[in-house]
């Protein structure tokens, strides 16, 4: 990886006052979480149509499939990786305004990024919500019920339909998180995309909002994105490798400035 590109990104971060980071699946794949769309991903083992809110609500068989997936393979013993810890370190250095994420794995928070700085556009798989009374429950408590033999757990308070607290196809994004993400994007001076192809909307509008408002755009991703031509710097590579190097350069720059 050309050191000049990593140095360029570190320089942008050092100069920033309001850096917003946007993360996608490429940040979490290094923790062992499959990208839904890549070879070997979940869409090769499950029908994406089962993730529509309409089918989930109207088909008990679909709910059975979903809860079986939750019990057997989703986010089992995953841990934050170097990319998550690098972003947490940038926060401790005072260089992170917020993280806008498409991921639903809670790994930014587990890496010690304050939860109020993480806007989850697609929800959080570690929570379950009742669609009738609105109560939320930890996913682990529902998994225990699945392990005990329940196939389609319902809400114990009102017997309503339980659903993973994530955005299914056909659902709107969480209003508060979307509003906050949009406002922070438009106020950013540096907008850093990590591990996203920027193909899923409306989340992918965030870097567009930032650039239109005058922010400098940086991209760290294995493949090209639709906004590469708008970026000050594009680094193709793994998120953990690159961000670890970037953080070390940022720390060195901060130390040098303080001497």
pLDDT of residue 35: 62
Are residues 49 and 6 both part of a single domain?
no
Are residues 55 and 177 both part of a single domain?
no
Number of structural domains found in the chain: 2
Are residues 179 and 118 both part of a single domain?
yes
**Residue 70's CATH number:** 3.30.1600.10
Are residues 178 and 233 both part of a single domain?
yes
**Residue 101's CATH number:** 3.40.50.1220
Are residues 193 and 238 both part of a single domain?
yes
pLDDT of residue 190: 98
Average pLDDT of adjacent 10-residue blocks, the chain of 259 residues: 85 97 94 66 64 91 88 75 98 98 96 97 94 94 92 95 93 95 98 95 96 98 96 96 96 66
Distance CA 171, CA 176 (A): 14
User: What is the crossing angle of helices 82-92 and 239-258, to 10°?
Assistant: 20
pLDDT of residue 259: 43
Phi-psi region of 78 (alpha: psi -120 to 50; beta: other; left: phi over 0): beta
pLDDT of residue 74: 63
- Out of 84, 108, 122, 137, the active site residue is 122
Domain hosting residue 183, numbered range: 1-32+80-122+173-259
Determine whether 159 is an active site residue. no
């Amino acid at each position: 990886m050309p050191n000049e590109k990593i140095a360029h990104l570190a320089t942008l971060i050092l100069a920033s006052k309001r850096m917003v980071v946007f993360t996608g699946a490429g940040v979490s794949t290094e923790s062992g979480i499959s990208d839904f769309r890549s070879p070997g991903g979940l869409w090769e083992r499950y029908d994406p149509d089962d993730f529509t809110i309409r089918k989930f609500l109207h088909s008990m068989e679909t709910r059975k499939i979903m809860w079986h997936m939750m019990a057997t393979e989703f986010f089992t013993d995953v841990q934050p990786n170097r990319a998550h810890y690098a972003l947490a370190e940038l926060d401790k250095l005072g260089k992170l305004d917020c993280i806008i994420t498409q991921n639903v794995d809670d790994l930014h928070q587990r890496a010690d990024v304050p939860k109020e700085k993480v806007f989850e556009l697609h929800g959080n798989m570690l929570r379950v919500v009742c669609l009738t009374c609105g109560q939320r429950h930890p996913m682990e408590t529902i998994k225990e019920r699945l392990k005990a033999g329940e196939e389609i757990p319902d809400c114990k308070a009102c017997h309503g339909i339980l659903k993973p607290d994530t955005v299914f196809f056909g659902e709107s994004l969480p209003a508060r998180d979307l509003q906050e993400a949009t406002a922070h994007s438009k106020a950013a001076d540096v907008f850093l995309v990590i591990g996203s192809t920027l193909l899923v909307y409306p989340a992918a509008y965030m870097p567009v909002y930032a650039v239109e408002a005058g922010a400098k755009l940086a991209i760290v991703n294995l493949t090209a994105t639709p906004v590469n031509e708008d970026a000050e710097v594009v680094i193709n590579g793994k998120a953990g490798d690159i961000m670890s190097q970037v953080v070390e350069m940022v720390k060195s720059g901060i130390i040098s400035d303080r001497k």
